[in-house]
Chains A and B, each alone.
Chain A
Amino acid sequence: MEVVLKVTPHLLQGIYLTIYLSIAGMALSLGVGFIGGMIRSARVPLLSPFLGAYVAFVRGTPFLLVIFIMYYVLPAFGLRLGALSAGVLGLIVHEGAYMTEIVKGGIDAVDRGQDEAAKALGLTYMQKMRHVILPQAVRLILPPLAGQFVLLVKATSVVSLIGITEVTRVGQQLTQRGEHTFITFGMVALFYFLVCYPLVKFSDRMERRLSKWIETV
């Protein structure tokens, strides 16, 4: 118990950074994902193939390497980022690619007849997306999106390697200073679980709520 009380304040500081990275990463990579996914599925000349190459690049690159590129390689091109900015940017680049594929998949999975009916009414592309396609796509992509969010939260631990003292790094520092390994890392693990588990539960709830129109009366 004594150990718990002693490490908690330190861990809380790390938790703050982890949550900051997670929320910034989620919001911004989701934005990338929606825009990227819409462009990918609309088959825009040049832009869609370019995004396809981006996705392929990220899929074939370890996340740690993406972080290193942001932090160590970009300065060579004149873009010097602080550790935190580099970390967030790395998360956006990495997770944005996966979100792009998820959103593209969701849009493509909406029945083609929906697209045609919306067009036949004379809706513009944006009106069609907003009122017809995306509401149906969102229901389809919620489960994979929640899964990706969970991966994102856990991926924030990797950015500790460019010197960001998020919660995993704090745990490591504490044990190096001689704190109880099992209790310290156990608390870190508990934290991740307490964030990730509700995320999945929340997605299940949303999915059911958005599906109310599917159930036949």
Chain B
Amino acid sequence: MITVTNVHKWFGKLHVLKDVSFKVAKGEVIVICGVSGSGKSTLIRCINGLERIQGGTITVDSMNVHDPKTDINLIRKEVGMVFQSFNLFPHMTSLENVTLGPREVRKIPKDEADRMGLELLARVGLEDKAHSYPASLSGGQQQRVAIARALAMQPKVMLFDEPTSALDPEMIKEVLDVMVKLADDGMTMLVVTHEMGFARKVAHRITFIDEGSIVEEAPPDVFFTEPTQERTRRFLEQILHV
């Protein structure tokens, strides 16, 4: 589904991704973790072309993301993205947020888009907030609308860029619950997160990135109990407070 091959990325002189390669198969849930500044967010932002890369290739559904000949919007139609700061459109209601993509990009008529949008909002438990503006929703509710908005494009892959990092602690669960449900439904997901409980529960693989390189890649049971790298062990100690 997603193939990342020898990717390099620089921000000016800063080498943020160093020869990164990995694959995500259809239906897989991959959790990417690492300290802040390790390049994990940058990596998933490269996958839908929000960031350029300076070396290597990324393909999504066998389309080359960074080939100038590729219509990037064809890829973005297939790849849903959820941001740390939600980025809902503040001048639109929840329903309008959810239906904008289908109506404009997929050219679905308003009635049908609204019907699908309400279904999606119900799926994230927010059908009663369909006509509320984002400013009147809590952080957790906003993030769930944002997930519904991304799902409305019927993507083949979902990217989550620290979806719970900006939330108050009591709202994290409602968002994770939606994500767990999504994983159980077989969605291909690439999740940058510090929520190790979520990783343990649903991830097929956990990828640890440090200083722009993939240090360790393992299924959760192996990753948490017998990491092979010293750097992974130190990271786990910090994050699990043990």
Chain A positions within 8 Å of B, measured between CB atoms, are: 111, 113-114, 116-124, 127, 131-132, 135-136, 139, 210, 213-217
Contact = CB atoms under 8 A, between A and B. Distances in A.
B50 A120 contact: yes
Given A116-B50, A119-B50, A123-B104, A136 B91 contact: yes
Contact of A120 (B76, B86, B104): B76
A31 to B, nearest CB: 23
Given A117-B89, A120-B76, A122-B105, A217 B132 contact: yes
Contact of B135 (A118, A121, A214): A214
Contacts of B91: 135-136, 139, 210, 213
Interface in B129-164: 132-136, 146, 149-150, 153
B94 to A, nearest CB: 12
- Most B CB within 10 A of own CB, among A111, A124, A131, A136: A131
Interface in B63-116: 73-74, 76-77, 79-81, 83, 85-92, 100-101, 104-105
B89 A124 contact: no
A122 B50 contact: no
B207 interface: no
A121 B76 contact: yes
A217 B131 CA distance: 12
B83 A213 contact: no
- Most B CB within 10 A of own CB, among A118, A119, A122, A131: A122
B188 interface: no
A214 B153 contact: no
B72 to A, nearest CB: 8
A213 B89 CA distance: 10
B232 interface: no
Contact of A122 (B88, B133, B153): B153
Given A117-B87, A216-B136, 18 more contacts: A113-B83, A113-B85, A113-B87, A117-B81, A119-B76, A120-B48, A120-B79, A121-B101, A122-B73, A122-B76, A123-B105, A213-B92, A213-B133, A215-B135, A216-B135, A217-B133, A217-B135, A217-B136
Nearest to B101: A121
A127 B104 contact: yes
Nearest to A125: B73
A123 B100 CA distance: 9
- Please name the 4 residue pairs, one residue from A and one from B, whose CB atoms are nearest each other, closest first: A113-B87, A117-B87, A122-B76, A217-B136
A42 to B, nearest CB: 16
Contacts of B76: 119-122
Contacts of A214: 90, 135
